[in-house]
């Protein structure tokens, strides 16, 4: 299926590894002119070269200067995927006010910076896509990582507000909400925990049991980066012209809700 993305220019923030790299790779394979972004220059350029990206943009989006630098390299973008973000594995007692502020700056305000720099051009041209990478913790938060849960909820909320702002412009704003995704760090973690948790020895056994204990879902496994990338590519395409202000959950049924 041709998603008709040939000639569309797309910036994927935080695409020098993991989920962002998978998104950038699929958009490039679908014909989009992809700009890869990261803070580590060597890693970012390596991904850009691997997928045939048109440019590599280096900059820290948690600063105005970094966002300006990335926007200059990105140019006239048709598709903005706000994927960049981070979190620490801490609970309420350890998450200081400074950590809350830093997490909000990195996970929320960085995306706002790119929206403010790139969406006006989309509006002028009469077509564009803004896609936030959110997460199930936005609507079903856990006790751990309260600062991260809250920042995801803000990402979901601002995407809907932006959709209202972009009414009748030809530019849409949506969220792709992943469940637990099997990136390298996650696989290393659960493989290391397997012996003490009694999850088995073979990878299929370990994954099934780890998913049951960590992220119970109807599919019985962790998601794959390519499955998130597929949802992003669809929302970026003309086939999604009539979708705005929506959250597309790609979580195997982890979130138990009809909304």
Q: Where are the alpha helices (DSSP H) in the chain?
A: 18-29, 41-51, 64-74, 97-104, 110-125, 146-165, 184-197, 203-214, 225-236
Give the closest residue to 180 by CA, choosing from 231, 145, 225. Answer: 225
Judged on CB neighbours under 10 Å (0-12, 13-18, 19+), 158 is buried
With contact defined as beta carbons under 8 Å apart, do 70 and 61 qualify? yes
The verdict on whether 148 is a catalytic residue reads yes
Task: Considering the candidates 87, 148, 234, 239, report the single residue annotated as catalytic.
Answer: 148
d(CA 22, CA 176): 14
d(CA 108, CA 114): 10
With contact defined as beta carbons under 8 Å apart, do 183 and 222 qualify? no
Residue 59 tokens, joined:
């900059």
Kindly list the catalytic residues: 148
């Amino acid at each position: 299926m041709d998603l008709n993305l040939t000639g569309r220019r797309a910036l994927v923030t935080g695409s020098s590894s993991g989920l962002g790299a998978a998104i950038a790779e699929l958009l490039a394979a679908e014909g989009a002119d992809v700009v890869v972004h990261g803070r580590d220059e060597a890693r970012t350029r390596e991904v850009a070269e691997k997928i045939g990206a048109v440019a590599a943009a280096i900059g820290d989006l948690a600063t105005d200067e970094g966002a300006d630098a990335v926007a200059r390299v990105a140019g006239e973008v048709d598709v903005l995927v706000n994927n960049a973000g981070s979190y620490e594995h801490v609970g309420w007692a350890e998450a200081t006010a400074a950590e809350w502020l830093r997490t909000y700056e990195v996970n929320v305000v960085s995306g706002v910076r790119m929206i403010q720099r790139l969406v006006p051009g989309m509006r002028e041209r009469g077509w564009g896509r803004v896609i936030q990478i959110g997460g199930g913790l936005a609507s079903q938060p856990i006790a751990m990582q309260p600062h991260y849960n809250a920042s995801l909820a803000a990402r979901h909320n601002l995407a809907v507000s932006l959709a209202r702002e972009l009414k009748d412009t030809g530019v849409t704003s949506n969220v792709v909400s992943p469940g637990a995704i099997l990136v390298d760090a996650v696989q290393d973690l659960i493989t290391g925990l397997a012996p003490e948790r009694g999850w088995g020895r073979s990878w299929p056994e370990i994954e099934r049991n780890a998913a049951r204990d960590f992220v119970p879902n109807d599919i019985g496994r962790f998601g794959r980066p390519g499955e998130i990338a597929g949802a992003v590519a669809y929302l970026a395409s003309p086939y999604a012209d009539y979708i705005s202000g929506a959250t597309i959950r790609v979580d195997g049924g982890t979130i138990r809700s009809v909304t």
